Every structure is written in C-alpha cells, then in structure tokens.
Amino acid sequence: MTLSPVPGPESPESLRTQVRRAVIWRSGSQIVAQMIQWASTFLVIRLLDPRDYGLFAMAQVVLVLLNMLNGFGLASGLIQAADVTERQIRQLFGMLIALNVGLAALQLLLAPVAAAYYRQPIIADMLRVQALLYLTTPFVALPFALLSRRMDFRHQARANICASIAAAAAALAGALAGWGVWTLVIAPLILFGVRGAMMTWSARSLVWPSFDFRGAGHLARYGGIVAAGQLFWFGQSQADVFIAGRLFSPHTLGIYTTGLFLAQIFVSKVVPPLNEVAFSAYARIQHDPEAVAAAFVRSVKVVMAAAFPFYLGLAVTAEPLVLTALGPKWAETAPVVRLLALAMPFMTLQVLYTPACDALGRPGIGVSNGAIGAVVLAIGFLIGAHWGPGGLATAWICAYPVYLGISSWRALPVIGASGHAILSAVAPVLIAALAMAAAVLLLDQALLLLSPLPRLAILVVAGAGIYGGWLALFARATMSELIATVRRTG
C-alpha cells in the first residue's frame, strides 16, 4: 500500500486554519463520544452487579500496568520528529508489533498468578481474553501518529465516534443478555478493534513491518522516558485496587471502585483537556516568569471555582445521586462517594502543577512528584484497606493533603507562585462552596420523604443558585473575574 507522505512546512495562515479545524473536530468528537460512553456506562452499571465491577477492577490492575509499556510513547516520538522516512515508519510498526505480542504473552503467563493472588479463578480467564487488546495497539498507535503529524483529526474523530457506538451497543447487548462481567471484557475489545480498523484505513498505514531496529534508538529512548513517568501514575491509580483486591470480596471492591469512578468524574474527564490547553499557554510565555506565575494562579482559580462546588455538592447529594443514577442495589456506594468527594479537591489542585512545570522545562518535577505520591498513597491504602471501602476512602482524605503539600513545596518555586497567592485565589470560591454545601445539607433534611430523582433535582438547582448568589453578594470581584476569564477563553 502506498504510504501517504508527511506534509512539509506550511504557511502560518494554513497552519492556523489546520489548528482551528483540528480543535473543532477533536473537541466535538470528544463531546459526542463521551455522551455515548456515559449513557452506555450508567445503563450498564444499573444492569450489572457490584461483583462484576469488582472482578473487572482486579483484572484491570494487570492490564493497566502492562498497557503502560504498549508503545504509545514510541508513536509520540514519531509525532515529534521533524522528518520521518518510510523506513522509520516501518520500524515503528515492527516495534509496536514485537512489543505488544510480547506483552500479550506476558499477560498470559501472569493470568494464573493474578488469579491466585486475588483468589478468584475467573480472573485468569478474563486476562487471557483481554490479552487480545494488545494485538489491536499497533493498528491504533501507528495511524494515530501519522494522522496527528498531518493534523488530520477529522478521521480520528470519525473512528472514535464509530468505535464508541459499537462498544456501547456491545456493552448494552451483553448486559441485557446476562453476560455479567464478560460484558466489561468484550466491550473494550470491540472499541479498540473498530478504532484500529478505521484509523488504519484512514491513515493508509498498513505497511510491511521492519524488525531491523538499527537507527531507531531515539524512538526507543523517548518511549522509555514516557513509560517511566507512567509507572508512577500506575502506583497512584492502581495501588488501592491491588491492595483491596486481596482483602475485599468482589462485591465490596465493586462498591469501592464504582464510588471512586463517580468521585473522579471531574478530575478525570474535565481537567485533562484543560491541562492540555494550559501546557500550550505556559509554553508560549515561558520566557516571562511573572506572566507564568500569574497565569497559573488564574487557572487555579478558574478550575477550583468549578471543582469546589462540584465536589462539595457531590458529598452532600451522594445518596440521591447514587440511587438515581445507579439504582437501589448500589446504595452502599453513597457513603464511599461522600468521603472520596472530600479528597478530590486536593487531587485536582495537584494535577494542575505538572503542565506548568513541564512547559517551563522541568518535567522531572512531575515525575518525582508522582513517585512521592505513589509511596504516600500506598502507605495510606495499606492502612485504610483493613476498614473496608470507608477506610480506603478515608485514606484518600488523609494521604492526599500530605502528597499535595510535598508537591506544592517542590513545584511552586519552579512556577514562581506562592502558597499565599494560591490560597488567596481560591478562598472566595471555597467559602462560597462551603456555604452552598451547608445550605443544601439543611435543605435535604426537609426533602427526605421525596423519591431520589426530584430530591436530587431540587438540591442541584438550589445548590447552583446558592453558590452563584453567594459569589454575587460577597465575592463580586471574584465572580466578575471568572466571567471575564471564561469570555476570553471562549
């Protein structure tokens, strides 16, 4: 198959047009894909049992760990390269195939070990089937790199939307058919299979792989650095499940992981795209330290103005929210969500440090902070897991402020912002959010006889009104600044 050439330098106007078109396709496709995935996710959660999600979380620990080595960092190196030859593309394809076949074989070997650790024989069968995911990676990573070099996000968007629809349909069909945990195993296979096929076709990237890797050391080094940073993220994101999976029943673990999923919606879905934009903005002004510090403080204020009311509102409405969104069989999740929501503001602020430090040429700050966080959180989880899901959630509340404090001490001097400036920036919105949470909590006591849906609707509307009203009355300057910032961004 003829390989599409990599475009050469273009005029500034053409580049601006490409960037604008790319942003439209990328953001639009993300919204559509997320809507499809969210609708499917909540429907499937209502149909499946907590035990299914507990078993899936156990298997995910192995899958997430090995996926960090799947070669997407190699593909990123291809995107960054100034010039790319057909030989380099064939080498990358060969690297991706060799690496992912090796990971699939390794997962097959680890499957019985994981099943023995968790004392759940079905985990071995799940991991064996999930090993097929690695075989789709070369057909996603290579075309992703080639399309990204061309700034062709239109074909990526189409592939993502079609894959999301196919996976959602498979998940709903499996849940309705009574497949149980296998619903959660099959849907990602459909997702990545469809995405890989469509992206490979769009990029015309089905080339003959080369397994002669001489001269490709720069790709391997870049991929290795990316993988090293991701391993610390794994320590933070999977340590709780790895520890609890040994101590909890699948049902109890499912209660905890689903509560964590709900509590992390804002920091995992809303904040990452904002961080991508922030990274570009900081990089543009990195020569002006005062401007970087001011921009960072302003971004913290804007993000936390949304985060504080979201998390505190989630804490006080956890019960009607869980009953409405997930159904009565998930009622045990509500206390877990309530506790975890109190820890998430610390996590949200923590993840804002990395793009600023990276843009200033200090990526080691984020990597070392991640290593510190992995240790601090793991210690907390080891202690808290002995008290069930509530103990794990409490460990988040106790350990994350420590992690944030250490990260702030290391990152803020690099960014040029002071702790006092951060506290001054977020204090008005924090006070408004606390006032909102207290008022909603009192109002909820008068609504206990209502069914969950109208109760939740009243609390959400009242909370939004109280938060906005408080800012308008007692923090008018902050509210005006937030409105002006959003307008400029738009």
The pLDDT tens digits for 398-445 are 999 999 999 999 999 999 999 999 999 999 999 999 999 999 999 999
Q: What does the pLDDT average to over 474-483?
A: 83
Closest-CA residue to 55 (of 325, 260, 241):
241
Give, in order, the Cα–Cα distances in Å from 22 to each of 2, 63, 149, 155, 255.
25, 31, 12, 10, 39
Of residues 68 and 1, which shows the higher confidence score? Answer: 68
Quote the CA–CA distance of 155 and 147 in Å, as a whole number.
Answer: 8
For tokens 């994350």, the residue is: 400
- Please say whether the beta carbons of 377 and 392 come within 8 A: no
- Please say whether the beta carbons of 329 and 50 come within 8 A: yes
Gyration radius of the chain's alpha carbons = 23
Q: Give the ranges where 204-288 is alpha helix by DSSP (H).
A: 217-247, 250-263, 265, 271-284
Give me 406's structure tokens.
Answer: 């250490």
Least confident of 51-60, 87-96, 160-169, 335-344: 87-96
- Residue 22: its pLDDT value, please? 46
Give me 368's structure tokens.
Answer: 């070392």
pLDDT band at 81 (very low <50, low <70, confident <90, very high): low
Of residues 16 and 112, which shows the higher confidence score? Answer: 112
Q: Say yes or no to pLDDT of 26 above 50.
A: no
Give the phi and the psi of residue 326 in degrees, each rounded to 5. -110, -25
Quote the CA–CA distance of 280 and 9 in Å, as a whole number.
Answer: 20
The helix (H) or strand (E) run that includes residue 331 is: none
- Residue 270: its pLDDT value, please? 79
One-letter identity of residue 232: F
DSSP 248: S
Closest-CA residue to 139 (of 105, 93, 95):
93
- Residue 38: its pLDDT value, please? 74
Q: What does the pLDDT average to over 182-200?
A: 93
Of residues 72 and 234, which shows the higher confidence score? Answer: 234
pLDDT band at 392 (very low <50, low <70, confident <90, very high): very high
Give the CA angle between residues 222, 194, 106 to the nearest 5°. 50
pLDDT (tens digit, 9 = 90+) per residue, 63-74?
Answer: 988 988 877 766
Q: Residue 251 burial (CB < 10 Å; 0-12/13-18/19+)? A: middle
Q: Say yes or no to pLDDT of 3 above 60.
A: no
455: left (phi over 0), alpha (psi -120 to 50) or beta: alpha
Residues of the chain with pLDDT > 90, as a percent, come to: 57
- Please say whether the beta carbons of 86 and 5 come within 8 A: no
- Please say whether the beta carbons of 372 and 407 come within 8 A: yes
DSSP 70: S
Give, in order, the Cα–Cα distances in Å from 276 to each of 58, 146, 298, 453.
30, 20, 16, 35
- Please say whether the beta carbons of 465 and 439 come within 8 A: no
Give the CA angle between residues 303, 305, 306 to the nearest 5°. 70
Of residues 344 and 480, which shows the higher confidence score? Answer: 344
pLDDT (tens digit, 9 = 90+) per residue, 97-149?
Answer: 999 999 999 999 999 999 999 999 999 999 999 999 999 999 988 888 787 76
DSSP 387: G
Give me 302's structure tokens.
Answer: 């804007």
Give me 143's structure tokens.
Answer: 């075309």
Q: Say yes or no to pLDDT of 292 above 80.
A: yes
- Residue 462: its pLDDT value, please? 97
Of residues 223 and 401, which shows the higher confidence score? Answer: 401
Mean pLDDT of the chain: 85
Q: Say yes or no to pLDDT of 193 above 90.
A: yes
Q: Say yes or no to pLDDT of 21 above 90.
A: no
Of residues 185 and 3, which shows the higher confidence score? Answer: 185
pLDDT band at 479 (very low <50, low <70, confident <90, very high): confident
DSSP 319: H
Q: Say yes or no to pLDDT of 481 above 50.
A: yes
pLDDT band at 2 (very low <50, low <70, confident <90, very high): very low
Least confident of 51-65, 289-303, 436-450: 289-303
Of residues 261 and 34, which shows the higher confidence score? Answer: 261
- Please say whether the beta carbons of 360 and 222 come within 8 A: no
Of residues 18 and 161, which shows the higher confidence score? Answer: 161
Q: Say yes or no to pLDDT of 180 above 90.
A: yes
Q: Residue 318 burial (CB < 10 Å; 0-12/13-18/19+)? A: buried
Residues of the chain with pLDDT > 70, as a percent, come to: 82
For tokens 């995910």, the residue is: 60
Give, in order, the Cα–Cα distances in Å from 32 to each of 105, 202, 334, 413.
35, 20, 28, 40
- Please say whether the beta carbons of 57 and 241 come within 8 A: yes
- Residue 199: its pLDDT value, please? 87
Closest-CA residue to 244 (of 380, 123, 369, 42):
380
Of residues 215 and 479, which shows the higher confidence score? Answer: 479
Maximum alpha-carbon separation in the chain: 72
- Please say whether the beta carbons of 252 and 389 come within 8 A: yes
Give the phi and the psi of residue 131 in degrees, each rounded to 5. -60, -20
The helix (H) or strand (E) run that includes residue 64 is: helix 50-67
Of residues 487 and 419, which shows the higher confidence score? Answer: 419
Closest-CA residue to 100 (of 75, 122, 125):
75
Quote the CA–CA distance of 333 and 43 in Å, as a whole number.
Answer: 16
Of residues 205 and 477, which shows the higher confidence score? Answer: 477
For the chain, the straight-line distance linking the first and the last C-alpha, in angstroms and rounded, comes to 42
